[in-house]
Amino acid sequence: MGSTLTDRVTVVDVVEDRGPKLRADARRNRERIIAAAREMYVEHGAEVPFDEVARRAGVGNATLYRHFADRGELAHRVILSVLERITEHGERAAAEEPQAFTALRRFAHAATEERIGALCTLMSDTVDKAHPELIAARNRMEDLVESLMARSRAEGLLRGDIGSGDLLVAITQLTRPLPGMGGCGANDAFAHRHLDVLLDGLRVADPTPLSGAVVTIRDLEHLKKEGEARPTRS
């Protein structure tokens, strides 16, 4: 099941702006706002009113605006904190687990716990994807996943016709809200179970040949750019 707002604030170090260090109370408020916004974006999409985010975080509107000037800045920080969090989880797993495939599994479950599929609207509609901070965070995550997958293949545990993009697309699809099911909460009952089924299908033992080509994260970025450049019908 998804973790609570209190869990996220007390356990997770949320990314700060590169500026003067915040006082402890201001930092706690900032963390609560980011955690509350992430929960509400997952539940309701990118158009959540600021006053609702403030209410969920337990702060006043003035406090929220003191930390985040507009919706885009708040969404930027939410996405950045999620990317940092799942990457750090994967890096810890890589250092702790004797098998890279086990670390890859832990990373995949951390990404599923963050419901990254439900946050896709932030990336497509609200956030500047070319921001240097986001590029650096995505590259760090990509390097981690590629490294874990390469090590898993070297261990003889991961089939060779799977790329990082294949894995991330599958996690994204698993964590999208289900139509007519009241949002992402309905996914909680089975998302991690279905992820385990998916991950077992990535093992080398007696694999079913796959159609199409291996997909990497860079392939996904290229396809997205092609889609954005394609003219829309009037």
Radius of gyration (C-alpha) of the chain in whole angstroms: 19
Distance CA 102, CA 94 (A): 8
Q: C-alpha angle 75/77/82, rounded to 5°?
A: 95
Question: Is-contact 175 168, C-beta < 8 A?
Answer: no
Q: pLDDT band for position 179 (50/70/90)?
A: low
Q: Six-digit token pair at 160?
A: 């060779």
What DSSP character marks residue 178? B
pLDDT above 70 covers a percentage of the chain that reads: 79
Least confident of 18-22, 68-72, 153-157: 18-22
What domain range includes position 52?
5-71
Whole-model pTM: value is 0.79
Q: pLDDT band for position 15 (50/70/90)?
A: very low
Nearest of 32, 174, 152, 177 to residue 100 by alpha carbon: 152
pLDDT value at residue 21 = 60
Q: Position 229: which residue type? A: A
Residues in the chain: 234
Residues 149 and 179 in one domain: yes
Q: pLDDT band for position 44 (50/70/90)?
A: confident
Q: What is the DSSP string of 46-100?
A: TT--HHHHHHHHT--HHHHHHH-SSHHHHHHHHHHHHHHHHHHHHHHHHHH-SSH
End-of-domain residue from the set 49, 71, 93? 71
Residues 190 and 126 in one domain: yes
Residues 210 and 177 in one domain: yes
End-of-domain residue from the set 14, 42, 71? 71
Average pLDDT over residues 199-212: 78
Mean pLDDT of the chain: 83
